[in-house]
Amino acid sequence: MRFKLIAIGNILMGDDGVALKIVDCIEERLKLSSFDLTCVKAETDFDFALDHIEDGDYVFILDSTSLGEYYGQITLLSLQDAKRYCDNVELIHNFSLISLINKADVNVNGTIIGIKIAKVSFDLELSEELKKKFNAICNEVYSIIESQCMRLGESYA
């Protein structure tokens, strides 16, 4: 089983690009470990994301959301459960990608990891709310991914 982290968002739109910044942080951590995780910064190009997804993969889709009680809160949703929420505009990036995966008839399992954001505007920087919590968010996302991979039987080389 291959594990892939697909980051979705627009780096030019402030908090909407949080997933891309988190992937940068995770890629740095991966350099120091033998953990086998492929990271893909798809931004808003869902076809590019789909090109990196193959039958049998376990995919983590990382994106910004409006879900949750506080900024920086992490929400998890399985790809299987996501089909019930496809009309939810709170996760518009994810469901465009999920629709493509379904139409392509790719046999994958996975988890959507959503980060509640504070502000979307033309800005290269994250909001102050997310900047304050950024390291903790990165650590939690990494731990979620690592735990799930270990639970599914990923062995370390």
Is the predicted pLDDT of residue 90 greater than 90, yes or no?
no
**What is the predicted pLDDT for the residue at 19?**
98
57-70 pLDDT, tens per residue?
A: 999 999 999 888 99
Residue 56 lies in a domain: yes
Give residue 128's identity as a one-letter amino acid code: E
Q: What is the pLDDT of residue 98?
A: 76
Residues of the domain holding 49: 3-151
Please compute the mean of the pLDDT values over residues 134-154 and round it to a whole number: 92
Q: Please check whether residue 60 lies inside any domain of the structure.
A: yes
Lowest mean pLDDT among 26-35, 101-110, 122-131: 101-110
Count of domains in the chain?
1
Q: If residue 92 lies in a helix (H) or strand (E), which one and from where to where? A: helix 92-104
**Selection from 155, 146, 154 nearest residue 26 by Cα:** 146
Q: What is the CATH number of the domain that holds 100?
A: 3.40.50.1450
For residue 89, is pLDDT > 50? Answer: no
Closest CA to 26 of 157, 142, 114: 142
Mean pLDDT of all residues in the chain?
A: 87
The pLDDT of residue 85: 62
- Examine residue 37 and state whether it is found in any structural domain, yes or no: yes
With a pLDDT cut of 70, the percent of the chain lying above it is 89
Given this model, what pLDDT does residue 154 score? 52
Identify whether 43 is part of a domain. Answer: yes
Does residue 94 form part of some domain? yes
- Whether 7 has a pLDDT exceeding 90, the answer reads yes
In a domain, 157, yes or no: no
| pLDDT higher than threshold 80 for residue 144 | yes
In this prediction, residue 136 carries a pLDDT of 98
pLDDT of residue 155: 44
Is 84 contained in some domain?
yes
Tell me if 1 sits within 8 A of 56, measured CB to CB.
Answer: yes
Predicted pLDDT at 104:
76
The answer to whether residue 156 is domain-embedded is no
